[in-house]
Amino acid sequence: MIFRALFLLLVLVATTSIAIVEKQTYIIHMDKTKMVTSNLKEWYEGLMDSVYNLSIDEEEEEHTAPPDLLYIYENTISGFAAKLSIKQLESLKRMDGFLFARADKIVSAHTTHTPQFLGLQFNKGLWRASNLASDIVIGVIDGGIWPEHPSFQDSGMSAIPSRWKGICENGTMFSPSNCNKKLIGARTFYKGYEATYGKVNETIEFLSPRDAFGHGTHTASTAAGSVVNNASLFGLASGSARGVRYTSRISVYKVIWPYDGTISDVMAAIDQAVADGVDVLSLSVGVGPTPYYLDDLAIAAFGAIQRGVSVVCSGGNSGPSFYTVTNSAPWIMTIAASYPDRSFPTTIKLGNGLTYEGSSLYTGNATGQLPLVYGKTAGGNDAEYCIPGSLNKRLVKGKIVLCQSGIIDRTLKGEQVKLAGGAGMLLIDELLADAHVLPATATGLLASNAIIEYANSSKEPTASIVFHGTVYGTRAPIMAALSSRGPNSVGIDVIKPDVTAPGMNILAAWVPIVSPTLLTSDKRRVMYNIISGTSMSCPHVSGLVALIKSLHKDWSPATIKSAIMTTAYTMDNKKALITDIASGNSATPFHFGSGHINPEAAADPGLVYDITPEDYLNYLCSLNYNSSQFAAVSRSHYTCPRNSTLQPGDLNYPSFAVNFFGEAKNISVTYMRTATNVGTPKSKYLVHLEKPSGVDVIVQPKMLKFKKLGQKLSYKVTFIGYKRTSVMDGLNATFGSVVWVYGKYAVRSPIAVTWL
């Protein structure tokens, strides 16, 4: 009897398990105009009954469980969530009003969310315990750190490696006891700053490695912050936070005091960090485009890579203009910024019935439909920028104010609107989420003209704002408007930036002594904050470099960079080309370099393009630097090769920047590349070409046949320009790629052809 009961129980469990396997949760989008009743719940329940009856009639499966109606969406989505079998879903698709269905996805608890977006999974691939156990030190050159933050706790970490030579300095509210097995180094560099600006103002700053304004803490935790549960900003983006290489050691070098620093201090920090023994340098700082022989950061970075230290830098926030990318030396890894698939959306509804998407971290209630004022209807000179003193309280009180970007900070504009009695703010910028002090939202550049035109043309313009909280699964990646773009104005023969990474609306650790807006009037205090820029994308790649370096300890900085570049992707999660939010067009290598980082693929790239320090010196030779210029970068008396034809395009870079002058009809250039096999010992790679318009591309040979790991094979690529391309966003440029394919490997190098 016991055996029979157990057998029946097992049958029941097996049957139930099969039913569970057969059904999946879907989000169903519906056309509400097709409603057959005024009650949504009744309509959806009726659909579920019909679906169930159809599935039984057609499948003749009496034991099929009925659909489960899980959620009804009434505000942000028109539709519902239900658990359906495949057959039931097919039946639903035939129902009147059905638009489309998306399979539900498991969302792990991540606040930065970007590790999940990047495909990193606990105990798998690059996040295997064996890989994470390796001692890697990331040097963060920024604005210091808040050492007590839980993101820098050292629970379970091993002893500091004996090779480490760094120290933790004494200073204002900081001592060596503030360091631990996670934070193993902390130094300050301020002599250059004080020489330029005078003494550090210790009423608002700490003359020590302690971070007073949050930026350094944010970047350090993004790269290597420890795992912290239950993190969020006012409940937004709630979950667990962790850095990309969350078991790395951190050493911080404070050079920002408080908003600015000097390149002399940055150079000193790089110099010291290399001496201390860091493996990766992360710099979310920089100056404008500068010739390499005048670029002190580039020079210091060259010294670092000569010692085997990877240097990762932000590309700058001067977009959407072209020729703005900074930190563009070929030995630096230069990072652009893009949006991940998590957003904080708002809906802006104008009085004419048109609606637009916005972004905000405000967590209060929606506004009503309120009068909208802008420019002269809001105040005097510069009222369109909402600068202090420009808004008229009589005109603004109780209304929503439209503010343009520029001149002052975004949240400061909101403060000015609030002080003037405004009830809300629409900010014309891009979809940047800020923790505003009043109901406020930013909206994209593409919507700006329509909103401004409406505000100026309507006799009584109105607007409202609805806040939707945290939303996952949005279209991504999308290139940010603020992200600096190429072409590389310093070295036109090297595409910059190199790659893009999540940099927009990133949640990471914050200091508890300032507000999330940095406004003195804002008395809110948080442990985590959401901010944006290439400053945020840079540490994502720094953490990725650390992950790859721990897996491939013998790889050079150039090899690691090559692995990340050639495995980057250019399609978004909707299977379309990555777009540029500023123009609405497809992004190009001048926006994202080789594409968006793909960590797990970068760990096993198949082929890599290595570049030795000597190769970089030969590149400088090809630029025809004079002796003093050459010495400035190389710090040596290197003799350029004689009786050889050196051209910048022959640098063994993982991308191709081709430049034609004039009409360039039937003019050709040929570049050489050498690939190293790090994938499968015996392998045959075939070339696949995506030719830029107006350019013919010839690759010789068309097959690379490797016999062993570590083997190097060379090939030539000839570019023949036969038709000058049409102007694209102010540039005469066209794009393509060279891809070497074998099995699971697709080693991709972008091509950017520019007519000058």
Using alpha carbons, list the distances in angstroms from residue 281 to 190, 269, 467, 540: 19, 10, 39, 12
588, containing H or E segment: none
Adjacent-strand bridge partners of 422:
none
Q: Based on the number of CB atoms within 10 Å of its own CB, is 199 exposed (0-12), middle (13-18) or buried (19 or more)?
A: exposed
Tokens standing for residue 191: 């002599």
C-alpha–C-alpha distance, residues 90 and 545, integer Å: 45
Q: Residue count of the chain, please give it.
A: 756
Active site residue 382: no
Contact 715, 700 (CB under 8 A): yes
Strand bridging mode 607-608 / 667-677? antiparallel
Nearest C-alpha neighbor of 390 from the set 419, 410, 430: 419
The single-letter code of the amino acid at 146 is: W
Q: 203: which 2 tokens? A: 């009423």
The distance of Cα 223 from the centroid of its chain, to the nearest Å, equals 12
Cα separation, 599 vs 339, whole angstroms: 17
Q: CA-CA distance, 362 to 62, in Å (whole number)?
A: 50
> Among residues 539, 537, 606, which one has the least CA distance to residue 567?
606
- 307 contacts 429 by C-beta, under 8 angstroms: no
Interatomic CA distance for residues 707 and 396, integer angstroms: 74
Q: How many helices (H) and strands (E) does the chain have?
A: 18, 36
Of 142, 276, 429, 572, the catalytic one is: 142
Catalytic entry in 110, 113, 215, 540: 215
Catalytic choice (226, 251, 338, 535): 535
Tokens of 417: 């609107």
Residues 218 and 530: beta-carbon distance below 8 Å:
no
3-state DSSP assignment of residue 400: strand
Question: Among this protein's residues, is 535 annotated catalytic?
Answer: yes
3-state DSSP assignment of residue 627:
helix
3-state secondary structure at position 62: coil
Tokens 């379309």 belong to residue: 576
Phi then psi dihedrals of residue 296, to 5 deg: -65, -35
Q: Amino acid letter at 182?
A: K
Distance separating alpha carbons of residues 480 and 280, to the nearest angstrom: 26
Q: Which residues contact 97 (CB under 8 A, 6 or more apart)?
A: 30, 31, 32, 33, 34, 35
**And the tokens for 14?**
């097996």
Distance between CA atoms of 706 and 676, rounded to whole angstroms? Answer: 9
Q: What are the C-alpha distances in Å from 260 to residues 442, 470, 735?
A: 26, 33, 37
Q: Supply the residues annotated as catalytic.
A: 142, 215, 535
